[in-house]
Amino acid sequence: MPMDWTPPPRGTGREPDLNKVFSDFKNKMPSFKKVKGIWVVVLIVAAIILGSTAYYTVGPEENGIILRFGLFVRESGPGLHFKLPFGIEQAINVKTGRVFKEEFGFRGISPGIKSRFTEKGYSDESLMLTGDLNVIEVKWIVQYKIRDPRLWLFAVRDPVAAIRDLSESVMRQIVGNRLSDQVLTLQRVEIAAKAQKELQTLLDSYKTGVQIVTVKLQDVNPPPPVQPAFNEVNEARQQKERMINEAQEAYNREIPKALGEASRVVTEAEGYATEKVNRAQGEAKRFEDVLASYLTAKDVTRRRLYLEAMQRMIKNAEKIYVVDEQVRGVLPLLNLSPGAAKAAGKEVK
């Protein structure tokens, strides 16, 4: 506090009164009680500041990062912890147990049971060029977790922007290497899995401390101006696939049938050939046996062959005539055929 003391005017020729000067100075100075009260207030304020800046709390889904004069010194888990007060150490809580989501081509405006989304103004994210030079709209989401809070805070200036830029780059590259039909229908799951793998590799190379949980394609459609043309092309292709399937069905039905019939004919022919060969071999063997018998007993074999031949002939004959060698005419013979026996029976009656 400045002293409010004015020296006496000069030129009077008198010395100043020191006692009066000290008395005035003492009256002007604050009292000891007042000074003591001020220090008590200062100590209380310092104690409050010390108490409020000497501890910090880390939530159950968080990790604490402690900085000392802006330099990383340690990491702490959930719970109550202490640090150096008065801003010497600073605690930053990073949510490492929560799954974050980034949306591409659309934005959620009201989450809930029936979430609402908007797509206006995000076509620059979703419009992509495929390998067959068609333009399609691809909307997808990326879910991720913070795996290393230290890298998340200090390795990249803006990790969220890095995730978005790398995700868009990876998705455009994968879609650009495929045909539009593959992206629209057949390979959506494969594209999402490959995008997740390549995105994780890039984020690890940039040391972002991020773990990709999933990449999912939400909607893949042609742009609205060309949707009718795409629908017509898809209908034509579906009709083509239907006709191909019907032709394949007919092929699968007729070809095995024809192959089975051919196999049956071949098998019958082989059986017939085997039968004829075996019969011919049997006849030849029988002839050889007969020849051997004939050479042994010619008269007996000749008679036996004659009787066997006559037996086969008489069995197939309708009328039988017995002729004596010494008689020149034909002897009367009783007709023993079935028709003649019936006629004779009727005449007797």
pLDDT single digits (tens) 30-59: 554 555 567 666 677 666 666 667 788 898
Q: Which helix (H) or strand (E) holds 289?
A: helix 227-296
- pTM value > 0.85: no
Closest CA to 107 of 185, 187, 189, 164: 164
Q: Which helix (H) or strand (E) holds 41?
A: helix 32-53
Closest CA to 102 of 155, 53, 158: 158
Closest CA to 52 of 108, 91, 110, 23: 91
pLDDT single digits (tens) 177-199: 999 888 888 889 999 999 999 99
| Statement: residue 161 has pLDDT above 90 | yes
Query: In the chain, which segments carry CATH 3.30.479.30?
Result: 100-225
pLDDT single digits (tens) 265-294: 999 999 999 999 998 988 888 888 877 877
Give the chain's largest Cα–Cα span.
217
CB atoms within 10 A of CB 108: 13
Residues in the chain: 349
CATH architecture of the domain with residue range 100-225: 2-Layer Sandwich (3.30)
CB atoms within 10 A of CB 149: 19
Which amino acid is present at 85? Answer: P
**Rounded-to-integer distance, Cα 72 and Cα 89, Å:** 9
Give me the pLDDT at residue 24, please: 64
The answer to whether residues 208 and 156 touch, using CB atoms and an 8 Å cutoff, is: yes
- Mean pLDDT for 18-23 is 60
CB atoms within 10 A of CB 192: 18
